[in-house]
Amino acid sequence: MADNTVESSSQKSYSADSIQVLEGLEAVRKRPGMYIGDTGLRGYHHLVYEILDNSVDEALAGFCKRINITIHADESVTNEDDGRGIPVAQHKNGKSALEVVMTVLHAGGKFDGGSYKVSGGLHGVGASVVNALSERCQVEVRRDGYVWKQSYERGKPVGDVERLGTTDKTGTKTTFKPDPLIFKGEDTTYSFTTLGNRFRELAFLNAGLHIHLTDERSGKSQDFQFTTGLQEFISYLNESKKALHPQVIHFKGEKDTVEVEIALQWNDSYTESVYSYCNNINTIEGGTHLIGLRGALTRTVNSYATDKGLLKDLKENLEGEDIREGLAAVVSVKVREPQFEGQTKTKLGNTEVKGIVESLVNDKLADWFDRNPGPTKTIVGKCVEAARARLAARKARELTRRKTALDGGALPGKMADCQERDPALCELYLVEGDSAGGSAKQARDRRTQAVLPLRGKILNVEKARFDKMLSNEEIKTLISALGTGIGRDNMDAGKIRYHKVVIMTDADVDGSHIRTLLLTFFYRQMPEVVERGYVYIAQPPLYRAKKGNVEKYLKDERALLDHLLQSSLNGIEVRNLKVGTTEGELKDFVIAIQKFDHLLKTMASKYDPDLLHFFVSKGLDLKKALESQEQLDKLVAEFKAWVEKSPTKGILGVTHTLDKDVEHNCFTLKVRISRYGHESESRFGYATAAGSEWQELTSLWRKFEERVKLPIELPGDKEPVLFHTYQGFLAHVLETSKKGIYIQRYKGLGEMNPEQLWDTTLNPENRMLLQVNIEDAIAADETFSVLMGEEVEPRRKFIHDNALLARELDV
């Protein structure tokens, strides 16, 4: 009876009322991963790509020549192009077309094939998804002789589309700030390098298009523009390698409305770098265009080599992998109705494209071979060498294949295996040196954790051919332990014995080098193991903080600061603090001051910090102020009066001018400040008032004043201690936070005893593991080639460009 009652109750609870319909952009906010992949760094950067792709589609249609992307100090991003501008006229649903594009899923101009011949955007969700996942978003459109604007908060319009002023330009300017409620990761920030790699790619694929990237957080900027497109792309891919022939092989053609462009060049490396694109989208899983290219390459090279008698004593034809060893190639197709797999578009499925690409490569490559016999002979010679090495490696591979206990073999002698046999539950720790290896063996959970100590540095596989690599003892030991086999034909990631392969090295230069060597091995020889997410990097804590008998391990500088703040705020008493403020809210208040201060300093390249701080502290509506000359003059006069009372600021002179901004129907205020003989200019215009940074600063200031108004009052021995600035209070908190705390920085794993190693690095409940993923194959390929390849000059340049970015480095 009881069971029937429960079933009946369950059935009643599932009724028509249980069916939910998510309106508008709710679905995007509810399931963001479905639209942008994830809510980590990958999805965070994908927001930029979605808006940028719309501008690039304008370039494909022939209407856009320049795109400017700016990363602002508060992590907001502006994308501005000189295309036609999003239509703003009334749509048939009664709303402005701009509002429809930004707030309705599957709304766009790429469905009918009329507005855009080809495009990367097909589903009409890009702009609306970015809007939905942004805390704030604003779009400015220059079109039909006017400037139009609409703002949004978390996908919802804040007012109607406004007409601001007149203009003789066209284009769209989109500014958005990712929503911290969606992107919650502490380290979620825009990477200048990651964005730059994508923009460079697009500039290569669209010859002549100018993309300019500015990072206001660091002051860095970079331009991407290439006149010959794919040919320069290949030269870039081979920059850290030695090309076998000076001329890049390049050809293009069109058949049945499918445009094909291909560039290729062989180099002296032992790996292939072949990339495929459809409508500017990097199809990382390949597809029919890549199959067509590979098939034609194999057929054409074999045909030429056989006709000319270049295979010598080789008893079999060249295989595809022999021909692609050392090949850098790019195939780009433009298809009117591409068939992709899902919104992420990683694989092209149009069957007709395969034959078109194959036919073009067969004809054009055979023609190039006939006209260039010298370079072709060098290329075929390289392919023949690769075939010989493959055949030799086939014999050597048998020696490295791991045997199981059933056939009498054994694991490497220095390895401590685990008892569990289910790979999903097993972990293998690759530990630097015998000393740390010994500690790890004592500390581990013998049931599921295996330890393999590595003696010194393994072979750099970037510089070694396959057969030489297989003769290296450390490499053989590693392959034997993993149990996957090695090589394109014999490696089976499904046979791996451990679903977590954890690289555990010291936090010093040698440890970083060993980690890079191991990552090079996995990326070049076992890419599928990396793609499946089996490779991890251990993150042992960098700090140990001890106060009395209480100690805590801390991952990095940020965690240390968080811990110090927590301990210093425990007993602090702020007399004029808002009643009812909790300890957690007080901590958030201090962190907000730190964020405010950091934002002010980051914006110092555009605005004088004291002037910006003064304007924010006035709590004024900057948009309204910029409409009134009288109010702006009064504001500057008040700042001058404040300067006279603050001689310690070193400000010797303040002058200002006002310019009329016709496009936005307001003024632009220019304030020149002379400080210790150095003169700087701050421009406060419509872009400032509407910008996300200004809104962030004013929002933080309002929160400060709601929590506690200046001066902040703390109890003293005789009289209260007063802080007349929030920054002064922050400095006091940070200074008192370190009193009575012993802080130790770890340099190597050997400094920890087995118990500490278990608590911090091996225990699944406490440890931090960093999963290794391939976000950008081209950038990864370039990085390994530069750092581990034969060419010295690209490595020297890399060190020169990135030396100041190194953090927490022990030399």
Instruction: Give the active site residues.
Output: 432, 506, 508, 510
Q: From start to end of 408-519, where are the E strands? A: 427-432, 449-454, 500-504
Taking only Cα atoms into account, the Rg of the chain, rounded to an integer number of angstroms, comes to 31
Tell me the angle at which helices 777-788 and 509-525 cross, rounded to the nearest 10 degrees: 130
Residue written as tokens 């690039």? 56
Measured on CA atoms in the order 611, 612, 615, 619, is the torsion positive or negative? negative
Q: Which residues of 749-779 are buried (b: 16+ CB within 10 A; e: fewer)?
A: bbbbeeebbbbbbbeeeebbeeebeeebebb
- Give 577's contacts (C-beta < 8 A, 6+ positions apart): 586, 707, 708
DSSP string covering 264-289: EEEBSSSS-EEEEEETTEE-TT-BHH
Q: Give the C-alpha separation, 614 to 651, whole Å.
A: 14
Q: How many CA atoms lie within 13 A of 529 on its CB side?
A: 31
Q: Three-state SS for 668?
A: strand
Q: Give the C-alpha separation, 405 to 328, whole Å.
A: 43
Give the Å distances, CA to CA, from 175 to 72, 138, 509: 10, 5, 40
- Give 235's contacts (C-beta < 8 A, 6+ positions apart): 248, 265
Neighbours of 564 (CB within 10 A): 20
- Give 517's contacts (C-beta < 8 A, 6+ positions apart): 457, 458, 459, 460, 788
Residue written as tokens 């900027």? 221
The two three-digit tokens of residue 599, written as one number: 């934002």
Q: Give the C-alpha separation, 602 to 599, whole Å.
A: 5
Determine contact, residues 555/545, Cβ cutoff 8 Å.
no
Neighbours of 662 (CB within 10 A): 13
Determine contact, residues 642/654, Cβ cutoff 8 Å.
no
Residue written as tokens 């993993």? 482
Determine contact, residues 13/117, Cβ cutoff 8 Å.
no
Residue written as tokens 């792709």? 53
Q: Give the C-alpha separation, 120 to 279, whole Å.
A: 5
Amino acid at the residue 375 = P
Angle at Cα 410 formed by Cα 407 and Cα 413, nearest 5°? 170
- Give 203's contacts (C-beta < 8 A, 6+ positions apart): 209, 210, 211, 224, 225, 226
Q: How many CA atoms lie within 13 A of 402 on its CB side?
A: 23
Alpha helices in 526-681 (DSSP H): 527-531, 557-569, 583-602, 609-617, 622-625, 629-644
β-bridge partners, 259: 254, 334
Determine contact, residues 501/481, Cβ cutoff 8 Å.
no
Determine contact, residues 708/577, Cβ cutoff 8 Å.
yes
Measured on CA atoms in the order 451, 456, 461, 467, is the torsion positive or negative? negative
State the DSSP H helix or E strand holding residue 4, giving kind and residue range, or none if neither.
Answer: helix 2-13
